[in-house]
């Protein structure tokens, strides 16, 4: 059985296959068979049981978790020196806490502390936590948390990933019992309850019931109704000029009399809706680029369903990036392209660029990578969920539906920042009785997407687990690709507080490349650091160029020597692109008169509305 209809440029479903294209990464999907058809009865029983089990474990493999804790516990049990060290640390912490308690008894409202929270820990920053007995509670909790950090790290013989998993999960468990999470041990909640006569708890209960009902009914979060795609999100004018089963290609209308001849093609990640780069009018990356005199194209990915279970990475390359480049090339009259890739879209773009270089395809003028990795050996805390046991469990979970549910991915990202995204909201919405104000970035974040079974399994195994791209084993169009083949100049952006693609991991592109790389490190996180329009308060960045023949500097040395500049990095990118562009000319037409790339509908298109 075919998994999808053959592609046609002007329809989302078409019954006939177009002729294959000339370049190696063909723009047509091969007919594939549904993988679940070939499972034996015994395999289906195993997969079905694990898929059912995953509903209760949040997609986390209990076997992988047990293996990590067993590795830690067994090595700790055979390490008397480490045990003695932990006993000594426990004694030291008890003494510190006892001394602190004595000082508090003499002066209950002392501002002294015996342990200072980490800079990112905002739970106990209010002055009321300095008053007895809440100072005792917070300090005791932080000391316990520090001891468990000592206990789960530095145990000789434990694998690095198992140590990271045990440390992470133990921290998540401890965070549940933070005194800030309970009404009777949180002085801010108690004060508000006294002031309002308990009305905050009544409102909080109502908030909880409303949120639970919405989640159970599959409804969007409260406040999202104020943000609508096409009305106050993704409003930059444009046309969909190409559509196949996997993408819609949007061409944005020019806003200047003349434009640079070389167009910009943006490749967003397929795990998110594209309009993070076209949010509100005042912080739209697309709108900013068009205002600077560029012709901008954007890929909008289809939100896959169970019929798309066998779409793979080659499909996303050929029918995504390469089909889009073909369209841009035709519409703009054969001009070279400035390609921009965000997150995994940047990884996909890097693969496409390496394949094009391998095949002597010269159509890329430059490449810009935003928070994108090509080496995944230090890919942040997401790698906690990446090992053979966990991926086998994830495969079985996806096998049942044919895709990874968006709720599972959203839950994983929330766990990585549980204090900010889970517990702070519990306190604010359910104990304080408030409502977290929705903004455009939060509204986009709630508009999640699914991922096809085969493609998601491929990229987790080949990129994250095996690191095939960095080590020259990744195949595109049936042939291996190498980042070292890329000769187009590269502009790279990492963000200082990125928990998805740590900037040190993004920086590793310098180890693999053989071209000029301009690296920018900007303030903010994975999303907010990229959506960093001029005029955004408290923004800064560092930038430095590494020429292809220059010696390598490690990330720490780079950060120490790169000069800090106040403001947004967007103007720096525009200046970089202008230096690599020709003199302005009249804008190209919106699409072509030919049926293949004729305008189909207005931006933001139709795929962005798929749920």
343 catalytic? Reply is yes
Q: State the catalytic residue, choosing from 104, 114, 343, 601.
A: 343
Two tokens at 540? 């800064």
Q: Which residues of 569-589 are buried (b: 16+ CB within 10 A; e: fewer)?
A: bbebbbebbeeebeeeeebbe
DSSP class of residue 233 equals: B
**Which segments of 300-387 does DSSP mark as H helices, in order?**
313-316, 323-331, 344-358
Count of alpha carbons within 13 angstroms of residue 430, beta-carbon side: 16
What span, in angstroms and rounded, lies between the C-alpha atoms of 45 and 36? Answer: 12
Two tokens at 331? 């519409």
Two tokens at 483? 């980042």
Structural contact between residues 398 and 35, judged by C-beta atoms closer than 8 angstroms:
no
User: CA 273, 299, 481: angle at the middle one, nearest 5?
Assistant: 110
Q: What is the DSSP string of 443-473?
A: HHHTS---EEHHHHHHHIIIIIIS-TTTTT-
Structural contact between residues 414 and 59, judged by C-beta atoms closer than 8 angstroms:
no
Two tokens at 214? 């919405």
User: In residues, how long is the chain?
Assistant: 611
Structural contact between residues 238 and 591, judged by C-beta atoms closer than 8 angstroms:
no
Give the residue numbers marked as catalytic.
343
């Amino acid at each position: 059985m075919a998994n999808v209809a053959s592609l046609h440029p002007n329809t989302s479903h078409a019954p006939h296959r177009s002729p294959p294209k000339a370049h190696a990464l063909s723009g047509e999907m091969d007919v594939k068979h549904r993988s679940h058809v070939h499972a034996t009865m015994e395999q289906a029983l195993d997969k079905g049981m694990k898929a059912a089990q995953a509903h209760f474990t949040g997609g986390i493999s209990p076997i992988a978790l047990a293996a990590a804790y067993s590795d830690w516990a067994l090595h700790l049990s055979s390490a008397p020196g480490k045990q003695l060290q932990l006993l000594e640390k426990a004694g030291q912490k008890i003494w510190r806490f006892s001394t602190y308690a004595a000082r508090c008894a003499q002066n209950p409202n002392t501002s002294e502390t015996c342990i200072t929270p980490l800079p990112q820990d905002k739970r106990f920053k209010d002055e009321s936590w300095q008053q007895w007995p809440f100072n005792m509670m917070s300090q005791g909790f932080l000391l316990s948390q520090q001891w468990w950090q000592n206990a789960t790290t530095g145990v000789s013989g434990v694998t690095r990933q198992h140590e990271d998993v045990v440390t992470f999960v133990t921290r998540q468990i401890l965070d549940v019992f933070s005194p800030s999470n309970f009404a009777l041990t949180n002085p801010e909640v108690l004060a508000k309850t006294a002031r309002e006569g308990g009305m905050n708890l009544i409102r909080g209960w109502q908030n909880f019931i409303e949120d639970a009902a919405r989640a159970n009914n599959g409804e969007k979060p409260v406040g999202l109704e104020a943000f609508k795609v096409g009305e106050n999100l993704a409003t930059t004018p444009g046309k969909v000029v190409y559509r196949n089963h996997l993408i819609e290609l949007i061409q944005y209308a020019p806003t200047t009399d003349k434009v640079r001849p070389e167009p910009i093609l943006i490749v967003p990640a397929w795990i998110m809706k594209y309009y993070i780069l076209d949010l509100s009018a005042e912080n739209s990356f697309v709108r900013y680029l068009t205002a600077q005199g560029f012709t901008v194209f954007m890929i909008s990915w289809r939100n896959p369903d169970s019929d798309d279970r066998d779409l793979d990475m080659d499909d996303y390359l050929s029918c995504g990036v390469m089909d889009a480049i073909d369209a841009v090339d035709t519409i703009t009259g054969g001009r070279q392209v400035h390609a921009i890739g965000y997150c995994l879209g940047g990884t996909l773009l890097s693969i496409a660029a390496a394949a094009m270089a391998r095949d002597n395809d010269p159509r890329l003028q430059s490449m810009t990578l935003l928070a994108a990795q090509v080496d995944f050996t230090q890919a942040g805390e997401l790698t906690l969920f990446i090992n053979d046991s966990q991926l086998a469990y994830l495969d079985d979970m996806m096998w049942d539906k044919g895709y990874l549910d968006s709720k599972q991915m959203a839950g994983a990202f929330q766990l990585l920042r549980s204090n900010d995204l889970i517990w702070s909201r519990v306190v604010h919405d359910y104990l304080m009785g408030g409502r977290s104000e929705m903004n455009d970035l939060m509204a986009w974040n709630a508009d999640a997407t699914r991922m096809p079974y085969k493609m998601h399994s491929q990229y987790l195994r080949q990129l994250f687990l095996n690191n095939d791209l960095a080590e020259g084993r990744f195949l595109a169009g049936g042939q291996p690709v190498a980042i070292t083949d890329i000769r187009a100049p590269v502009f790279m952006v990492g963000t200082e507080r990125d928990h998805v693609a740590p900037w040190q991991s993004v920086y590793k592109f310098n180890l693999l490349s053989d071209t000029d790389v301009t690296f920018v490190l900007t303030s903010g996180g994975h999303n907010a650091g990229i959506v960093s329009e001029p005029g955004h308060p408290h923004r800064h960045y560092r930038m430095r160029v590494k020429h292809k023949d220059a010696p390598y500097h490690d990330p720490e040395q780079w950060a120490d020597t790169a000069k800090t500049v106040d403001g947004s990095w967007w103007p720096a990118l525009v200046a970089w692109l202008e230096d690599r562009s020709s003199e302005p000319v009249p804008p190209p037409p919106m699409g072509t008169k030919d049926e293949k790339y004729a305008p189909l509908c207005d931006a933001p298109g139709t795929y962005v509305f798929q749920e």
